[in-house]
Amino acid sequence: MSTSARPSPAATPPGGASRAPLTFDRSHTADLMSFLAASPSPYHAVANAAERLEKAGFRQVAETDAWDGTSGGKYVLRGGAIVAWHVPEGTAPHTPFRIVGAHTDSPNLRVKPLPDTGAHGWRQVAVEIYGGPLLNSWLDRDLGLAGRLTLRDGSTRLVNVDRPLLRVPQLAIHLDRSVSTEGLKLDKQRHLQPVWGLGDEVRDGDLIAFLEEETGLPAGEVAGWDLMVHSVEPPAYLGRDRELVAGPRMDNLLSVHAGTAALTAVAAAGGALPSIPVLAAFDHEENGSQSDTGADGPLLGSVLERSVFARGGSYEDRARAFAGTVCLSSDTGHAVHPNYAERHDPTHHPRAGGGPILKVNVNNRYATDGSGRAVWAAACEKAGVPFQSFVSNNSMPCGTTIGPITAARHGIKTVDIGVAILSMHSARELCAADDPFLLANALVAFLEG
C-alpha cells in the first residue's frame, strides 16, 4: 500500500491542477450511481459515455469514413464498445498513447433467439447464461429487460423496460428441505427461466411484439435482438454513515464511468500533453473478449493506427507510438471478505475505502510487472491517492482481465488496476462510496502523463 495519507471526506472535481489533498462531496459517486442506473446493457453504457463525451466537445467519427488529422476529442462507437481519444494541438505522429481500458459487459441472463416459452399456466422468457454470474443473486428479484433491437433496414434501437417485468421464482423450502443441509443447487437450464405472465398458450413473437409496442415501432419491424435482464432496484448508499454503495454492474461500469470522467477532465484542461489520452471500453470481457467489439479484436489497434496515419505518420511513427504507449486495464477486484478472509492471500488484504488496487499475478493473469507498478505509483502519488496491492491466494485460481490480452495483442505495456468490491458477479455489488472518486483522480493523473 502506498504511504499517501488517506484523504479526508468533503469536495473537488476529479483531477484539478493544484494536486492539493483530495476532499469529497460524493458528487462523483452520485454521478456514478446515475450512470449505473441508466446503463442496463453495454449498448446503453456506451451511448451514455458518448453523450458525456459530446458535452465535453468530442465528436463521433465513423469507421467507414476517411479520418483527418485535426486535433481535439473524437470517439468511435461499435456495438457495445467505445474508443475515445483527445489529440492536443501540434501533436506529432509518433506521440505515444496513454490508455484507460475497461469493459462494458456484466454477467447476467440473456434472451434466446426463440424467447417465448412457458409451462403449467405460466408464461416465461427463455434465457441463456452470460458469463459467470452468481446465479442465486438473480432469484426472487424484480427484473427489467434492456438491450438493442435491430430493425429490418439494419438500423438499431435501444430498448429499456425499467420496471418490474420478469422474475425468477425460487422453489419454496417446503418442496426442497435439502436446501437447509446441502445448500442451493441450480440447474442453469431448468431453474433460471423467468416468468412474466399467466396463460397456457405459448404464442411465438409475443415478447418482441411487446417490445415493439414499448418502443413505438410498427409490428414486425424488429429483425434481430440482443436483450438481457437487469435488476430494477436502483443503486443506493448503504450503512450508518452512507459510506458504502450497493448497485448493479459495478464490474465494470465503475471503471467505464471513471475513465470517461478522467478523459473529459484532461481534455477540458487543455494545453500540451506528452501523450494522447485514450479511453477504450470493450464488450465481451466476461466470456473471453473474442469478438469484433472485445479486447481481443482489432478495434483498439485499428483506432490507434488510424490516428497516427491521419496525422501524417508512417509505419515507423506507428511503431514508435506503440513502443511508448501504456495502458491501465481498470477492472474491479476483490476486497477482503470479512466472512471468508481465509480465501484471500494472508499478506494482501485490500480493504474497501483504502483506495484503488494494483493487481499482480506472476502467471500473467494480470499484466502488471515492476515497471508497470512504477507507472501506477507515480500517477497515484501525483494525484494524492492511496493505493493497495492485490494478489490471489496461491491455493485459489486467479481471474483475468483485458490487461494480458491488450499487452499481447498490441505490444503495449499494460498495468492491471481497479477498485476493490464485494459480491463480484452478483446482480448487486458493493463498494466503498469514496473509492470510485479516488480511482478517477488517479486516472486523470495517469492520462496527463
pLDDT value for 26: 86
C-alpha cell at 158: 435501444
Q: What value does the CA radius of gyration of the chain take, rounded to a whole number of Å?
A: 22
pLDDT value for 12: 40
Alpha-carbon distances, residue 2 vs 5, 324, 386, 388 (angstroms)? 9, 25, 6, 7
pLDDT value for 3: 31
pLDDT value for 22: 58
pLDDT along the chain (449 residues), means of 10: 32 43 76 98 98 98 96 98 96 98 98 97 98 98 98 97 98 92 94 96 94 97 98 97 97 98 96 96 97 97 98 98 98 97 95 97 97 98 96 94 98 98 98 97 96
- Centroid of chain to Cα 14: 19
pTM of the model: 0.94
pLDDT value for 9: 30
pLDDT value for 17: 41
pLDDT value for 85: 98
pLDDT value for 200: 87
pLDDT value for 8: 31
- Give the separation between CA 104 and CA 285, rounded to whole angstroms: 8
For residue range 64-100, what is the model confidence (pLDDT) as tens digits?
999 999 999 999 999 999 999 999 999 999 999 999 9
- Give the separation between CA 304 and CA 80, rounded to whole angstroms: 19
**Cβ contact 305:276 at 8 Å:** no
